[in-house]
Amino acid sequence: MTAPSTFGLSNEARNLHWLLSNLVEEVPGVHSVTVVSSDGLMLLSSDPGHLTAKAAGPAAGKPDGPKGSSADLATIVSGIGSLTVGAAKLMDGGGVKQTMVAMDEGSVFVMSISDGSLLGVHAAPDCDMSVVAYHMALFVGRAGHVLTPELRSELRTSMESAL
């Protein structure tokens, strides 16, 4: 994984990029991580070249993330988040804190950050789920209070300029 370019970003934005990179690098089994806003737009990604896997073609080998794209993971996380919020409302279950989908070939974890923003992780099927959830909770605890509307706007602009 190459570190995303943080040139020109505020200290808060650079810190969030650093936290995201650490989550991928330090937690065994984690393939990719993304943060999406409440309206489903990707704000942060562990895969700064999220379009390069598609451009590289099949000769590039099997990518680590879903179809090699952080945009795909962001879409999945946004959909899971929306579905679980709707289910919680129907069941009078209150707010959704965390969702986990275990599959034969991997796992997807979704955790609420703040004001509807979500942290999503794609991990290996043999990952230690409690370790992944613990590190996600650490990220949420550190990121939640700094994810202001201004910072979300800065991150969104940064992601759009990377395209």
Strand, coil or helix: what is 157? helix
* Helix (H/G/I), strand (E/B), else coil: 32: strand
To the question of pTM greater than 0.95 for the whole model, the response is no
The CA distances from residue 146 to 1, 4, 43, 139, 150, in Å, are 25, 19, 13, 11, 10
Give per-residue pLDDT as tens, 59-95: 444 444 445 577 889 999 999 999 999 999 999 999 9
Distance CA 133, CA 117 (A): 17
Kindly report, residue by residue over 2-61, the tens digit of the pLDDT: 445 667 788 888 888 899 999 999 999 999 999 999 888 899 988 755 443 333 344 444
Q: Which CATH class is domain 29-56+63-162?
A: alpha beta
Q: Nearest to residue 47, comparing CAs of 65, 30, 25, 59?
A: 65
